Each structure stands twice: as structure tokens, then as C-alpha cells.
Structure 1
Amino acid sequence: MVLFRRVLGDVLRSQRVQRGMTLREVSAGARVSLGYISEIERGQKEASSELLASLCGAMDLTLSQVIREVSDQVALEEAALAPIPLPVRVDAPAASSAA
């Protein structure tokens, strides 16, 4: 099962690191405690839409960018976890021998 909060945390951390920002900088910009952001990035806490908007604003991201990236990652994980159907071989009925 794919956990949305884990994927969201991974995306937020990746975006923060790509921007060269520390948790402290994001915390100050979003006005959210550093510890709480850390828990979100580790997938331990759910982010409300208001909190997510604040985090995006602090990192100069749009909410749609983050949601799109999360959606793409979830789709990839779902595809990787999907069962692979195996072909079923159907044998032809055995010919009866008439003598």
C-alpha cells in the first residue's frame, strides 16, 4: 500500500534540498515548527492543506507543482505494486482414439 503522507514528505524534502534550503529556513518562512516539518518530511504526520500551502510558499513552489509530483510518484509506486497477470495456457482437449 502506498502511503500518501510518505510520498508527500519525500517530495517536500527533495524540493527543499534542491533549493538548498534548511529546515530552519523553511520553518521561518512557513511559520511552522522545525520539528513538525521534519515529521512531515519523514511521513510521520499528515499536512493540512493550509500547512502545505505555507510550506510551498516558503519554498517558492506552487501547490499544484507539489501535488502533481506527489501524484506522479504515487502512480509509479502503485504500478510497481500492481499484480502482474500471468498468461494462462489452455490445453486443447485430448483427441479420443477411435479404433
Structure 2
Amino acid sequence: MVLLRRVIGDALRGRRQGQQRTLREVSTAANVSLGYLSEIERGQKEASSELLASICDALGAHLSDVLREVSDTMALAEALDGITTGEPASTPTPRKPEARVTDGDVSVTVRRDSPLRTTLKATRNRRPGTDRPYANV
């Protein structure tokens, strides 16, 4: 199972790092403590909708765009669950330790560390609105 707060944190961190901005710069602009923003990015804290909107505003992003990215990542993770089990997501069967799915702009790798711990890594392959990969930014 992938935690929503981790996917949201990854999306926010990816946007911040894509802009080459520090936690301090974004936390100041969003009027949130640096430590709390760091915990949100690491998926340790759940941000309220108001706080998410403030962070997105500080990043110059629309909340709807960030949530769409999160939704796409979650959908891929759910699809991966079926791939790693070979069964529909609701069927409890032993899983392979790692699987990867690519859906054009997003690559998702899911690693099952234990029955209660899953690590998700999502990578956006292209800059939004362009045909250029992130590596060439």
C-alpha cells in the first residue's frame, strides 16, 4: 500500500528541486516552518488543504496540477500492485520484492520491504508542457 502523504511529499519535493530552490526559500514564501515543510516532503506529516495551497502557491504551481500528478502516481502504484501479485489488488498473495511501470511521463518503482512497508519512487520523465526530459533541463 502506498501512502498518499508520501506521494504528495514526493511531488512537492520534485517541483521544488526542479526549480533549484531550497527548503528555506519555499518555507519562507509559504509561511510554514522549514522543519514542517521538510516533514511534509518526506511524507511524515499530512498537510491540510490550506497548507498545500500555500506551498503550491510558493512553488508557482496550481494545486490542481500537483494533485493530478499525485493522482497519476497513485493510479500507477495501484496498477503495479496487480503486476507484482499477478492478481487483482484485492487478492492477498505473495509479492515480488520490486516492480516498475512507465506511463509516458511518469515512471514508478515499487519495492515491498515487508508486509507493512512499501517504498514508492516516482520519476517524471519529461518536463510538464514540453517534450524535453528533466535530465536536459
Question: Which bin holds the TM-score, normalised by the shorter protein?
Answer: 0.7 to 0.9
Offset from partner CA, 1:47-82 (integer Å, 9 cap, x none)? 100000000000000001100000000111111012
Cα distance in structure 2, aligned partners of 1:20 and 1:80:
31
What is residue 23 of structure 1 aligned with on the other side? 23
Tell me how far apart the structure 2 counterparts of residues 40 and 53 of structure 1 sit (CA, whole Å). 13
Q: 1:41 is aligned with what amino acid?
A: E
Amino acid at match of 2:71: S
Highest CA radius of gyration, 1 or 2? 1
Percent identity reads 64
**3-state SS of paired residue (1:8):** helix
Runs of 4 or more consecutive aligned structure 1 residues displaced over 6 Å after TM superposition: none
**Structure 1: gaps of 5 or more residues:** 86-99
Partners of 1:39 and 1:81 lie apart in 2 by: 26
Q: CA deviation at 1:2?
A: 1.4
- For 1:2 and 1:28, the matched residues in 2 are separated by 30
Structure 2: state its 5+ residue gaps: 88-137
Displacement of 1:35: 0.2
Which residue identity is paired with 1:29? A
Q: What corresponds to 2:127 in structure 1?
A: none
Determine helix, strand or coil for the equivalent of 2:44: coil
Match of 1:56 in 2: 56
CA RMSD, 1 decimal: 0.8
SS, match of residue 5 in structure 2: helix
Residue in 1 that maps onto 2:81: 81
What is the match of residue 34 of structure 2?
A: 34
Query: Paired residue for 2:71?
Result: 71
Deviation of 1:84 after TM superposition, in Å, equals 2.0
| TM-score normalised per structure 1 | 0.83
Higher share in helix: 1
AA aligned to 1:34 is: L
TM-superposed CA distance for 1:20, in Å, is: 1.1
